[in-house]
Amino acid sequence: MPMRKRRRMDSSVKLRWSGIISDQNNVTAPIDERRAEDQNCLKSSACAAEDHGLQEALSGGLEDQQVQTPPAPVHHSPVSPAPGHNNRVDETTEDNILSRYEMGRMLGKGSFGSVYEGKRLEDGLEVAVKIARKPQNMKYIYIPGHPGQLPLEVGLLILANRGPKVSEIIELLDWQDQPDQYIMVLERPSPCEDLRHFWKRHKGILDEDTARFIMAQATMAAHMSCRRGVFHRDVKLENLLINTETLEVKLIDFGCGDLLQEAGYERFCGTRLYCPPEYYAEDKYHGKPATVWSLGVLLFLLVCGRFPEPRDRQMIDEDTWSDPGLSNECCLLIRSLLKISPRQRIYLRKILEHEWFKVMSLRSATNDFEDYIHFSFERF
């Protein structure tokens, strides 16, 4: 990937990972729920009560995968071990993964776990350590290349990172499954904060150049996750980390995710304000169109400073919506992303080909975005 010029924003910003716990209690506006039982699912970080028929054939060439709910083993599998690390685990000895890291302050906390600063003792690498409490009906999956079952969130992140590195997806470095919890060691970019804090520091609205750069990366992360058989299901401000100097973005927290499947999903796990309308209209939704909808909500929020309201959605569906402060290309993209009917929405794989991403503003002080888009098309 081409090098990007470092953009100084605010060197005093501290690292914040408030979104990585999948805590849905911070939703700022209610949306009427079709089923009261789904309210519990919306607040669950692991979405453990769900059963989406994951044994069916999956898109993305992941037919070998199966979902199980076995007794929880103690299992450790370094994904990116430190130099000289021994992969073998002796379950009879003190092999707690945390003994290999120096733990620091808490970065974020939610209903089902916490994230801490950490430093790998062997080489001093700065990391983030997520400790997630297991829900009652913890899901496990089998994926090719791993002989045993994996906690669902761990398995999804392994799949999303499989193959050439996708810099827009947070990297899983190490993990351990314990009887009552699982621990994930993740890369820790610095300096960074979640996109919600970044957005609020900029008075709740971003200029199109900044929004375009962020949206290109969020779209790439969502698209590559789906290509690798992973449905994140909770793309939102809080689940995107942004480097405050370079504006590099990483998708985090796969705790509400699932394996991508051709069949629709009948229950929703995620954040209500990003939930696709077909879930309420048809009691069913599909992974890719739902991801497109959430990206549309994200773009609307970044450039308009608020969530789309019923009147906005009606005008968008009628192709009459516009905003005098936005370019015509931006308004067109919003209308393409937020169509009520999932069949009328732009395809996920086509988003980065939209005219809005081809527009270079004269206000841009760097060719970073142009280079990024060119590189992104090469990966599509």
Boundary-marking domain end, from 170, 187, 204? 187
Percent residues over pLDDT 70 in the chain: 70
Q: What share of the chain is helix, strand, coil (3-state, %, to 5)?
A: 35, 15, 50
> Known catalytic residue: 234?
yes
Q: What is the pLDDT of residues 116-167, one digit of tens each?
A: 999 999 999 999 999 999 988 889 999 988 888 999 999 999 999 999 999 9
| List of residues 6+ apart from 88 with CB closer than 8 A | none
**Sheet (strand 192-194) strand order:** 192-194, 240-243, 249-251
Question: Do 177 and 244 reside in the same domain of the chain?
Answer: no
Within a domain: residue 327?
A: yes
Within a domain: residue 12?
A: no
CA atoms 343, 349, 350, 352: torsion sign: positive
The catalytically annotated residue of 234, 253, 258, 368 is 234
Q: What is the pTM of this model?
A: 0.78
In angstroms, rounded to a whole number, what is the distance separating the alpha carbons of residues 256 and 291? Answer: 13
Q: What is the pLDDT of residues 256-300, one digit of tens each?
A: 999 999 999 999 999 999 999 999 999 999 999 999 999 999 999
Full residue range of the structural domain in which residue 363 is found: 191-379
Within a domain: residue 53?
A: no
Question: Do 94 and 158 reside in the same domain of the chain?
Answer: yes
